[in-house]
Structure 1
């Protein structure tokens, strides 16, 4: 059985999520788990999808960066899949770990992807440092604080912190922070 997993980092990336889902279904995935969360956050749907896999299944993602955040994480996921006798297929790379060549290529490409991400982060840090030195860097606009009145109003009307976060499109942690600052 082909089992698919699609992920985007933010809610604004709906088109990307739909494109991944369509691609997974087009190759024959019978079950597809969908998730909208950062790669560093807890990914419950990924865990559920891997737990669902059985011997002989193939776990399918559209791109390597939708699955793993580092070579180490990729290795851990591949080890878990291997222990269940489940293959891994990455569509955009034409990679399939059900053979030795696919496993080798996965390790090489995983290393290249991690290197690319580290280089991007390094360039980003350099750009931020330069902008700060020139007095042009202001940082990210605090979106949750701008919605503090709405947060407090919903909390007073009996909504849970989780539902407030969902309604306002902010993190649950931000709701707690606003509530704590308000006393």
Structure 2
């Protein structure tokens, strides 16, 4: 199994610092995906520790509030999707998974690629945008949350069936925000 980071993945870490680590203890990781991605949303390589999300869920608010906190802490650009679906990756005691781990680098609220596309069109067309808010231009998300890049897909795109089998069914971010038991599995 090939597991290297792409240049974009390496740059997603604060100051480019990360380390490859072997996860050999029971752990639950979480990722958010765009609702239109369907089952493909589970196959992303960016994950965060479930306890960090549980701490955010302990704060009052709605699903939209949770998404805002997650976006800021893990610097997830608004145009990368609505973050309406939550996936869990439960690593059992017998598993050994290699991951790249480090703090998330700050990101603009709208990715440079999308801003460039919008500049090329000279106007924001809300109908063609996958999200329902307008770009703010200079605003950024702070980052700083611990992120895990897990090879659900190898660098060359092949599915890692062993890791894929550890990913649970999709959960609605709105429902999880109002019912912590769904997230905790209780």
For normalisation by structure 2, the TM-score amounts to: 0.23
Larger Rg: 1
More strand by share: 2
Q: Which has the higher contact order (CA 8 A, sep 6+)?
A: 2
For normalisation by structure 1, the TM-score amounts to: 0.23
